[in-house]
Amino acid sequence: MLDRPFDYIGAMQCENKILRKKVAEYESGERYQRIKEDHKKVLEEYRRQIERQKHELEDLRRQIKKIWSWCEEAYADALKEFEKKLDEMERALKAEQVLRIAAEQAHDAQKDANRMLRHELYEVKTALEDEKGKTKKLLAQLNRDYENSSIPSSRSVHHKKISNNRERSGRKPGAQPGHVHHGRKKQTPTQIVLLPPPDGILHDPDFRKTKKEIVKQLVKIRLVLDVTEYHANVYYNSKTGERVHAAFPAGVINDVNYDGSVKALLFLLNTDCAASIDKSRRLLSDLTGGKLNISKGMINKLCREFASKTEDDRKKVFVDLLSAPVMHTDCTNARVNGKSAYVFVCFDPGEQQTLYFAREKKGHEGVKETVVQDYQGILVHDHESTFYHYGTRHQECLAHVQRYLKNSMENEPSLTWNKEMRSLLQRMIHYRNEHADEVSLDLDVVTGFESEYHAILEKAREEYEYEPPGDYYRDGYNLYRRMQKKEAEHLLFLHDLRVPTTNNTAERCLRDVKRKQTFVMAFRSFESLDYLCQSKSVLLGVRKNNLNVYDAVVNIFNT
């Protein structure tokens, strides 16, 4: 530790000596001369390097010039070759352009031709689809009969043989041994004829009369005119000039009058039996040996007279129908002097009462002043939308639905929902008929039917999405939408056993009017159709309440 200061001082002394030597050299100029000489040597060296670089640069310039001339020559040659190739390519391009333009023109022409062909193909396909739709519609119309539409069986050209599902027993037709004999009913004899024994029997001692007697009747009918002629002496008052005679009984007004027996016969023939006026008067004339030749005008007025005498009866039936829990209703068309008219029917299945209403218009105008207008019960009808605005609940006629489903099966054979729905309806109706006497149906069974109903409608939706209905035949699709929208109205019979499954009763009631329409072709006046409806309304009630309709009608005419 003590030696370090002396070393430091020694070093500093040495360094000081060196510095003093340098200062002396600078002061004497010797150091400057050396630096100048060294600088001169460096400058010379730089000058030599610059000269060398100048020579090298000159050589490079000459090389570059030579190389540039070579490049220019190569460029010129390459440019000539390029221009030559460019000319060849331009000529080829022009040729290609000519070919391309020709090809484009041919392509455009082909496109126009294809466009025309596609247009023609589209028109042909459209026309083909239209023709297919029309053919399908026409086939559906041609194949319509009483099994797949509302056409009555009487209008069907080709009737199928009605199959007999009963098993053959091998017995002969007719009464079977051991069964009670149901012979013809014997009548009270008006004349008894005792037949004599065969010849030789009375004088033959071997034959004796027994207690057994064989009785056989020969029934004949004949029409006897029962004519009551009233005579009344006329008394003359010489003072007052007054003439007086005894009063004739009620109904005896004209010189010749006909009581209810004649009127009832002609009325029933013309109205109930749908015989024409000419045939009715001819039959009566033949039965009386030509003595009674009733005028056509009188026969024509019988409906009006019968209707006027039974007005109170119809009012009572009207009130009774309003209180019925379930009522059938339907409508059919008629012809009056070449114009359309309509007949509405209302039927109570409980009390078996019926009313007909003649109307000039259909829809809500036709429903006015009928029982349907103010009815508050359950209406059974077909899919006529007008009836849905009346009553509280509704039941669609399933007979119509099954016929429409069969029509869909025949015209849409690729679909399966229609077959399954028809089978389901048949099973539901069969189950309902088997338990008709019960209070209500099994809820689990009904729920199962409803679930199956929904599943089939869902299948119908999928099938129509995959195969949409055409423009000409949409009956099956419309039926599916209607059954989907009106589900409660198609299945009400499962929840209320008072509700029938079909509207066949109302349709049967309208058959009488249609049968009359067939004979008359067209009614002369709307009043004639109205009187016919009023008369038939009462006749059905008379037939239900009386064993002898003729006597009942006679009493009505005689009142």
343 and 532 Cβ atoms separated by less than 8 Å: no
How far apart CA 437 and CA 429 sit, in angstroms, is 14
User: What's the mean pLDDT in 262-268?
Assistant: 93
Structure tokens at 307: 């209707």
One-letter identity of residue 438: E
Asked whether the predicted pLDDT for residue 532 surpasses 50, the reply is: yes
Kindly calculate the radius of gyration of the chain based on its CA atoms and give it in whole angstroms: 59
How much is the pLDDT for 14? 85
Q: Is 354 helix (H, G, I), strand (E, B) or coil?
A: strand
Q: How far is CA 14 from CA 18, 20, 393, in A?
A: 6, 10, 136
Q: Tell me, what's the pLDDT at 324?
A: 94
Least reliable range by pLDDT among 356-360, 446-450, 496-500, 518-522 = 518-522
How much is the average pLDDT of 300-306? 92
Question: Which amino acid is present at 25?
Answer: E
Beta bridge partners of 345: 330, 356
> What's the pLDDT score for residue 149?
64
Instruction: Please give the average per-residue pLDDT across 492-509, as a whole number.
Output: 92
The three-state secondary structure class of 391 is: coil
pLDDT above 50 for 1: no
> Mean pLDDT, to the nearest integer, of 218-243?
90
Residue-wise DSSP of 141-197: HHT--TTTSS--GGG-SSPPPPP--SPP--PPSS--TTSPP--PPPPPPS---PPPP
Least confident of 176-180, 221-225, 376-380: 176-180
CA separation for the pair 416, 406 (Å, rounded): 11
**What's the pTM?**
0.71
pLDDT tier, 32 (very low <50, low <70, confident <90, very high otherwise): confident
Among 262, 257, 263, smallest CA distance to 229 is for 257
Q: Is the pLDDT of residue 3 over 60?
A: no
- Asked if pLDDT for residue 8 goes beyond 90, the answer is no
Q: Which one-letter amino acid corresponds to residue 310?
A: T
Average pLDDT over residues 436-460: 93
Question: Which of 55-64, 144-153, 423-432 has the weakest average pLDDT?
Answer: 144-153
Which pLDDT does position 242 carry in this prediction? Answer: 93
Nearest to 391 by CA among 381, 376, 369, 412: 376
Average pLDDT of the residues of the chain: 87
Pairing of strands 326-336, 339-348: antiparallel
Q: Say what percent of the chain tops pLDDT 90.
A: 46
For residue 436, give every residue at least 6 positions away whose Cβ sits within 8 Å of its Cβ, in sequence order, or none. 497
- Mean pLDDT in residue range 68-76: 88
Residue 340: strand pairing partners: 335
What pLDDT score was predicted for residue 458? 95
pLDDT beyond 70 at 162 = no
Beta-carbon contacts of residue 509 (< 8 Å; ≥ 6 apart): 328, 330, 345, 347, 354, 356, 540
- For 332-354, what is the mean pLDDT? 92
**Mean pLDDT, to the nearest integer, of 117-140?**
78
Angle, alpha carbons 314-316-317 (nearest 5°): 65
Q: Output the pLDDT for position 541.
A: 87
| DSSP, residue by residue, 241-260 | --EE-PPPPTT--SSS---H
Contact present, 263 and 559 (Cβ < 8 Å): no
Whole-number pLDDT of residue 139 = 73
Residue 545 CA, distance from chain mean position: 40
Q: Which residue has the higher pLDDT, 520 or 476?
A: 476
Question: What gap in Å lies between CA 202 and CA 196, rounded to an integer?
Answer: 10
DSSP state, 401? H
Q: Which residue has the higher pLDDT, 287 or 168?
A: 287
The residue-averaged pLDDT of 112-128 equals 83
Among 176-180, 327-331, 400-404, whose mean pLDDT is lowest?
Answer: 176-180
Q: CB of 476 within 8 A of CB of 409?
A: no
For the residues 204-211, what does the mean pLDDT come to?
Answer: 86
Burial 188-227 (b: 16+ CB within 10 A, else e): eeeeeeeeeeeeeeeeeeeeeeeeeeeeeeeeeeeeeeee
More reliable by pLDDT, 243 or 169: 243
> How, if at all, do strands 243-244 and 353-359 pair?
unpaired
Average pLDDT over residues 246-263: 91
pLDDT (0 to 100) of residue 302: 93
Place of tokens 């609940």: 393
Q: What is the pLDDT of residue 2?
A: 42
Q: Give the whole-angstrom CA distance, residue 129 versus residue 133.
A: 6
Residue 158 has pLDDT above 70, yes or no: no
